[in-house]
Every structure is written in C-alpha cells, then in structure tokens.
C-alpha cells in the first residue's frame, strides 16, 4: 500500500483516480465493465469511481476502498509513484505519460496508417495530450456515427467523442478496435475472438448489423486505450 502522507485528502483521491485509470487501461484493456467484474463491483459503482472531481455522484477512493482494490491488484497505487518521485514533490498528482499525439480526422485514418508504416509522420504533429501510456504511432480521432453508442451500457461512444488508438497494442477479445475496410473507410467496434475467428460487434442495441466477421480486405488499425468527451460550453 502507498502512503500519501504529504497530500491533502482531495489530492489523495485524485491520485488514486489517476492510478485507477492507468490500471483500467493496462490491466483491463480500457474496458470499464471488465474492471467492475474483477473488483466485484457494479458497473455503475466503478463508473462513479472514475468520475472527475466535482461531478455529481462521484465515488471517492478512500482508504477502505483503496485496500479492497489492493487485494485484487497488489501494488496498484505504485503504478504512478515512479513519476511522482522523479518530480521530487509528493503532492504532485501524476497523469500517466502526458505525451501529445496527432488528432486526425476519421477519413484520414488509413492514410495515417500508411504513413506510419513508411516511417513518415512529419505531417502529423502531436497536438492532443494522451492521458494513457501508449506506443509509437498512437493517434486521437473523433468518433463518427452512433454504431457504438449504448445508452444503457457502461462502455459507450458517442458521435464526436475523442478516442485514443494505439497501433502497437495487441488486441484481445473484448478490446475496442478501429478496423479499416479496404476502399470503404473505417469503423469502431468491440473485438470478439471465438474459435480462432475474429468478429467485430457494434454495441448500439438498435444497430442493424451488430456482428461482422473480419475477412480479407479488413485490418485492425489499433486498440482504443482511452476515450473522452469535451465539456460542453454553457
């Protein structure tokens, strides 16, 4: 267990939330429902643990809850301690690997992937801070369409949400992936691996074609490692 004696109570809460986000991305593939299952909590409970400060209904991670998580993920609060120590200030709340990545347009994904393979990404400078650890070539892009919007589910992506896609991350069953379709753009889907075959799933309950088998001419561009929504201006 990490003892954050030089932090205020609010800083400890936010430090643990940052560690939980890193844990979510590195141990659960960024899938909130997977984290909920492992912790033995309801999806709604875990979602509230990840709420940013000030959001109504937020569940702060206090000492007892931190110890519960420690039993399932030993050392989970050590995930960011190295960066904290490097900063030399115990009251600095680390945000994992705040490197900038390119924010590209949806129709540019296939072109971007081609340029990445060629080792020429000079035309795609990093402009968007990525909140999660990521590999080379990671990019951000705004979701297009409602195929992955699930109003009743914990995992959901709205049109316009920003997703961070890591081409170096190995996709697993349950991962959210961006799939390129030859001569027909790209789509965001949940990956399903069953009996050696790959399928992608549109999680919108009203979407007409929910399951598609990955076939020739389709390629996984990368795994979604983080997603976010810009705050609305009121």
Per-residue pLDDT of the chain (234 residues; tens, 9 = 90+): 344 444 678 877 888 888 888 888 878 877 888 899 999 999 889 989 988 888 888 999 998 998 899 889 887 876 444 344 334 444 434 444 447 899 999 999 999 999 988 888 888 888 888 877 888 899 999 999 999 998 876 678 999 999 999 999 999 998 999 999 988 899 999 999 998 899 999 999 999 989 999 999 999 999 998 887 654 443
What is the span of the domain harbouring residue 70?
Answer: 9-87
Establish if 92 belongs to a structural domain.
Answer: no
Establish if 220 belongs to a structural domain.
Answer: yes
Task: Give the pLDDT score at 93.
Answer: 41
34/117 same-domain check: no
Task: Give the pLDDT score at 80.
Answer: 44
| Residue ending a domain, choose from 28, 52, 87 | 87
Rounded to the nearest 10 degrees, what angle do helices 32-39 and 63-72 cross at? 90
106/212 same-domain check: yes
Establish if 93 belongs to a structural domain.
Answer: no
Task: Give the pLDDT score at 81.
Answer: 40
Task: Give the pLDDT score at 63.
Answer: 87
Establish if 95 belongs to a structural domain.
Answer: no
Establish if 2 belongs to a structural domain.
Answer: no
DSSP E strands, the chain: 100-101, 103-104, 128-129, 139-142, 162-166, 176-181, 186-194, 197-201, 211-213, 218-228
Establish if 4 belongs to a structural domain.
Answer: no
The number of folded domains in the chain is 2
Task: Give the pLDDT score at 68.
Answer: 92
The span from the CA of 220 to the CA of 111, in Å, is: 14
Q: What does residue 14 show for φ and ψ, rounded to 5 degrees?
A: -70, -35
Contact 220, 177 (CB under 8 A): yes
Establish if 233 belongs to a structural domain.
Answer: no
| Residue ending a domain, choose from 43, 65, 87 | 87
Establish if 61 belongs to a structural domain.
Answer: yes
127/81 same-domain check: no
Task: Give the pLDDT score at 233.
Answer: 40
Task: Give the pLDDT score at 232.
Answer: 44
H helix intervals, the chain: 9-27, 32-39, 43-49, 63-72, 81-87, 109-117
CATH of the domain at 215: 2.10.109.10
| Residue ending a domain, choose from 87, 113, 129 | 87
78/108 same-domain check: no
47/81 same-domain check: yes
Total-model pTM: 0.61
């Amino acid at each position: 267990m990490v003892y954050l004696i030089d932090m205020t109570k609010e800083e400890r809460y936010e430090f643990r939330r940052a560690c939980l986000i890193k844990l979510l991305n590195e141990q659960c593939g960024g899938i909130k429902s997977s984290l909920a299952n492992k912790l033995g909590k309801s999806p709604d409970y875990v979602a509230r643990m990840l709420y940013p400060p000030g959001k109504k209904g937020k569940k702060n991670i206090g000492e007892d809850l931190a110890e519960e998580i420690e039993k399932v993920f030993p050392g989970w609060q050590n995930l960011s301690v190295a960066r904290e120590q490097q900063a030399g200030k115990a009251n600095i709340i680390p945000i994992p690997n705040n490197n900038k990545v390119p924010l590209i347009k949806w129709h540019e994904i296939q072109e971007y992937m081609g340029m990445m393979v060629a080792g020429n990404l000079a035309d795609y400078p990093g402009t968007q801070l990525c909140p999660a650890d990521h590999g080379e070539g990671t990019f951000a892009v705004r979701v297009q369409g409602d195929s992955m919007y699930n109003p009743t589910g914990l995992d959901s992506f709205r049109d316009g949400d920003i997703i961070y896609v890591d081409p170096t991350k190995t996709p697993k069953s349950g991962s959210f992936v961006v799939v390129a379709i030859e001569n027909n753009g790209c789509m965001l889907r949940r990956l399903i691996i069953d009996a050696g075959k790959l399928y992608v799933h549109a999680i919108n309950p009203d979407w007409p074609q929910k399951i598609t088998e990955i076939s020739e001419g389709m390629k996984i561009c990368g795994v979604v490692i983080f997603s976010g929504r810009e705050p609305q201006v009121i």
